[in-house]
Amino acid sequence: MVMETVVGAADAIRGRSHVRPDIGIVLGTGLGALAGEIDVDSAIPYEEIPGFPRSTVESHAGRLILGRLEGVAVAAMEGRFHRYEGYSMQEVTLPVRVMKELGAGTLIVSNACGGMNPLWNEGDLVLISDHLNLMGDNPLVGPNVEQGPRFPDMSQPYDVGLREIAREEALRLAITLREGIYVAVAGPNLETAAEYRMLRWMGADTVGMSTVPEVIVARHAGMRVLGLSIISDMCLPDALQPVDVSRIIATAKKAEPELSRLVRAILARLAE
């Protein structure tokens, strides 16, 4: 049933674009401006793609962009879906399976996150080295989808080679790039001081409400994955302040040009 929906969505997209993407990109909260840098072949609203959910988050435009960036054929999600919107994990991750069906072998996923490492700062970029899934669910629950094996290996969810390219390009561009572990929680509420303290004790550097489901499905489907975050607010339990979501979005937007520069540099390397 899942693959029928995936194939139907992919066929509909092929009917509206000549682009066959090599790389899929997921643009999270406050990070949609990179879509404006793509040489667009087609921009398809999610509601016009069979089987796609609709994004309900204010800062997510809700379009699939197909085109070229730094000479690379890409399919970019201008806004993602979340478990807290009421969607199932299978619905949240459907676009990743569709991008794979369209031909993408690599997924670049981005997000805005809370920073729990006291040595880092608001606005820093973070290269995701590993993750913790504390969402209480998994997109692979249920009958196995034929894109991958029943029990996919997750020893290296974030591709070693892609991470090395990201480090090299960040150094060349003089961009500060942290590296650490991301923990995904269900949301939509933000965490208490006690919860931040627990998550930090468990080894996490950053926290958010997305990304991990898409990464699990991408790895199940055999895709290489690169994960990048912007720290949009600091979540230090002993100095915790009330959070203004508009400020989180503004912080992500302020840091986005650096993220865009880095992603473009990485794509240029992959095009070589």
- Are the C-beta atoms of residues 132 and 182 closer than 8 Å to each other? yes
DSSP string, 166-230: HHHHHHHTT--EEEEEEEEE--SSPPPHHHHHHHHHTT-SEEESSSHHHHHHHHHTT-EEEEEEE
The residue among 65 and 252 whose pLDDT is bigger is: 65
pLDDT at residue 243, as a whole number: 83
Query: pLDDT tens for residues 189-231?
Result: 999 999 999 999 999 999 999 999 999 999 999 999 999 999 9
Number of helices and strands (H, E) in the chain?
Answer: 6, 9
- Tell me the domains of the chain and their CATH numbers: 2-271 (3.40.50.1580)
pLDDT at residue 30, as a whole number: 63
Query: pLDDT tens for residues 74-102?
Result: 999 998 999 999 999 999 999 999 999 99
266: exposed, middle or buried (C-beta count within 10 Å: 0-12, 13-18, 19+)?
buried
pLDDT level of residue 165 (50, 70, 90 thresholds): very high
pLDDT at residue 222, as a whole number: 98
pLDDT at residue 33, as a whole number: 81
Query: What is the three-class DSSP state of 255?
Result: helix
pLDDT at residue 136, as a whole number: 96
- Are the C-beta atoms of residues 271 and 23 closer than 8 Å to each other? no
The CA–CA distances, whole Å, from 166 to 121, 123, 124, 174 equal: 19, 17, 14, 12
**Would you mind telling me the total number of residues written for the chain in this entry?**
272
pLDDT at residue 241, as a whole number: 86
Query: What is the rounded average pLDDT for all residues in the chain?
Result: 94
pLDDT level of residue 272 (50, 70, 90 thresholds): confident
pLDDT level of residue 59 (50, 70, 90 thresholds): low
pLDDT level of residue 253 (50, 70, 90 thresholds): confident
